[in-house]
Structure 1
Amino acid sequence: MKKIASLIIISLGLCFIFSCQNKSETTMKRYDWIATENAPKEYPMRIYSGTFYAGENPVNAIPEGTTINYGWGATGSIESSGDALKEVPDTLALTWISFTENKNYTGKFPLNVKLIDSLFSAGYPAEDLPSGHEDFFYFKVGMAPGGVVVLWLGGPGKQVEVGRYQGKETNDVDWKSAIPGYDGTMKEYGKHIIADLPKEVQQQIIENKIPYGKWDHWRRHFNWKPVITGDVNILSLSMFMFNKEMDFLIGKRLNPVGYIQRGAIEKLYIFWVDHKKREMRSQIDFDEAETDQIFSALKPGENCDLLLHVTNDGEVTVNLKTAAGVIPFKKAKVHTYLR
């Protein structure tokens, strides 16, 4: 009788465990997302292997097998594997080569699951859609010289940084198996890629002057908001920051009340309607050095307004209002077009 009773208790226990596991699996949050990769145009990379993991389970591979030079923070090639709806990964395993350095890097990076899950769950406002809501869709993996890895979540009109990681140099790679048919060394392989880079970058490589730290420098955040004025009807505003975050403002969000921590502004588009009811677009490209100088002069925690004034003839003036006064962006380039 004791053996029978023990078997019953064990069976009930196993049923309870499997029941809890099944309940956990069915209630676990899953989202529709895919992975993509990027690197600065002038500093190309190639992935040897890359995978997002949830626990011990691979969730989605990162595209490999091609030269990566789409631009920092950009959408590269696409890799969608596994289920249509996926868990939020907790680990990024990545091994890659930096051609301009002739170095391999690797790392197994723990992700901020709480932050990523909250962003996926909440999505972001999109007043131009009937639902008034949009979802994040891309996991963007960026690699920069020095073993720098940055991870963004992206969607239409929105991109947010969710992590920065540091890879370590490694020689534990077998590129010949990864590139069938190529008999040379990766240094020789890289020379062909470097030959197509701008002369300025080639000289940096020769003189060991690759601008390490540049990509971390631009990750800084500042408290600012856009303030748009003018005698035209403003429809929307698209903002692109040097840290490769981006935001799209429309409707009530065009005149934000509070200040938000953002990267320094790199480019923006103002969509507006003139007095003849024509839809127009003004593009503003900010000079990197001037923008860095202006934002770097801000005190920690200082609030500032990005003043944008649009006239009916398409002229746009851009200034930054700070505690020290109003500072013009003299080197910003403005172009206005019919939309």
Structure 2
Amino acid sequence: MIKLLRALIFGMLISLTVSCQNKPQNRMLEDYTKLPKFEWVENVCSPLGYPIEVYRGGLEGNTYASLSQGVTTGEWGSSGGGTNNGVKPLPSRINCIWVSYAENCTYSIDSDIDYQRMVQLFKEGYPDSNRKFGKKQTTFDTVLVGFAPGGVVVIWAMGAGRTVEVGRYKGEKYTVPQAEIDKLDNHERLLFDATDRKNIMLNTKVIPLEVREAHAGKPIPFGLWDTYRTRYSWRPTFVLRTEGEMVATYYDMFNGEAEEIFAEGLIENKFEKRAIPKRINFGWRDKEGQGYGGRIIFDEQEILNAFEEIYKDDIEGASELQFSINYANDYVTVLLKQREKEIRLPKTKVKVYHSSKLTLKK
């Protein structure tokens, strides 16, 4: 009788264990079928002058996208050409090993990423720039992964006219076992060849000569790309000396984000927490309908210093980045101001050009 009782209890425990194990598996399968799916492609970038190459691994979750796309040649926050485009769930994890050529070392990361934030961004989307066809809203189409010196990893949601940071992560230095390297084919083995790494750093198609010369003799600015992520409450303002109206603006930020604001947004012109701008393109037209465009490229040290000075006594304050267009519509001056404090930015590079003649809206 006792043996029978023990057998019954043991059987119940086994049944309960199996049941508990099966439920999460069934729930995961059910959840997978309900996961939101979007059309997107993976992409990789690094700061100009600090190229990397992913040895193996990529974005994981209920999908997989390899980040092995060769040596990066663009700049921080720029996209190249991914290969795994399709409608699929968004990734929830990054797991990869990459070579940092400027540091002559290898990093590894295996980390959860902010999946919920990414889904929210893709679901909400943003105003479409091509609104003449009646489409007012669009969404992101790229998951961009940036690798900066020191093992810094930043992931953005990217689309036409908008790039938004999803999160910042950190890899650790890693040594690929020599036994593993020995098994690689000749091409893959070059990743770990000292001569080839040196040649990558001397290749002007990877690092333009002027960039290499500017970096020569200087230490790698570890931490700089985290500094870029500091946000301030600011807005653009435009001073037109003649009658007319602003049409649109587009900002590239030092932290890799980008934002386009249309005429109606410029009318409301709210203060927003933004990173410091790197470049700004904007368009306006005069009362006759003649269109103009301006391209502003900031001097990095000048504008970083200006924001630091403006906000040193009140980090939560709000400031305006003011663009004054002259009477001839052929030049723009820029200053940063917060209440009585004003800092001019004379090193800013300015280009103004004529665009098509447009009819002003009545």
Normalising by structure 1, we get a TM-score of 0.86
Between 139-148 and 323-332, the greater mean CA deviation after superposition: 323-332
Pairwise CA distance, 1:186: 2.0
**What is the RMSD computed on CA atoms of the aligned residues?**
3.0
Equivalent AA in structure 1 for residue 51 of structure 2? P
Query: Is the aligned partner of 1:319 residue 2:321?
Result: no
Question: Structure 1 residues 200, 90: closer, same or farther in 2, change over 3 A?
Answer: closer
Aligned residues: 326
Q: Which residue in the other structure is 1:140 paired with? A: 144
**Per-residue Cα deviation, 1:99-138 (whole angstroms, up to 9, x for no partner):** 1111000011211112111101101122642221110111
**Per-residue Cα deviation, 1:142-176 (whole angstroms, up to 9, x for no partner):** 11111111111110110111111111111126456
Question: Structure 1 residues 189, 202: closer, same or farther in 2, change over 3 A?
Answer: farther
The structure where helix makes up a greater share of residues is 2
Please tell me whether Structure 1 or Structure 2 has the larger radius of gyration of its CA atoms.
2
**Within 5 Å, which residues of 2 pair with 1:53-132?**
53-54=60-61, 57-64=62-69, 66-80=70-84, 84-126=86-128, 128-129=130-131, 130-132=134-136
Query: Is the aligned partner of 1:225 residue 2:232?
Result: no
How many angstroms apart in 2 are the aligned matches of 1:16 and 1:170?
38
Pairwise CA distance, 1:180: 2.6
Question: Structure 1 residues 28, 194: closer, same or farther in 2, change over 3 A?
Answer: closer
Long gaps (5+) in structure 1 = 1-5
The secondary structure found in structure 1 opposite 2:31 is helix
Q: Is the 1:35–1:63 Cα contact (8 Å) retained in structure 2?
A: no
Between 287-296 and 324-333, the greater mean CA deviation after superposition: 324-333
Match of 1:25 among 32, 43, 46: 32
Long gaps (5+) in structure 2 = 1-11, 356-362
Equivalent AA in structure 2 for residue 145 of structure 1? P
How many angstroms apart in 2 are the aligned matches of 1:99 and 1:37?
15
Question: Structure 1 residues 258, 67: closer, same or farther in 2, change over 3 A?
Answer: same
Question: Structure 1 residues 310, 50: closer, same or farther in 2, change over 3 A?
Answer: farther
Pairwise CA distance, 1:291: 0.3
Q: Which residue in the other structure is 2:175 paired with? A: 171
Query: Is the aligned partner of 1:210 residue 2:220?
Result: yes
Question: Structure 1 residues 183, 332: closer, same or farther in 2, change over 3 A?
Answer: closer
The secondary structure found in structure 2 opposite 1:50 is strand
Question: Structure 1 residues 103, 17: closer, same or farther in 2, change over 3 A?
Answer: closer
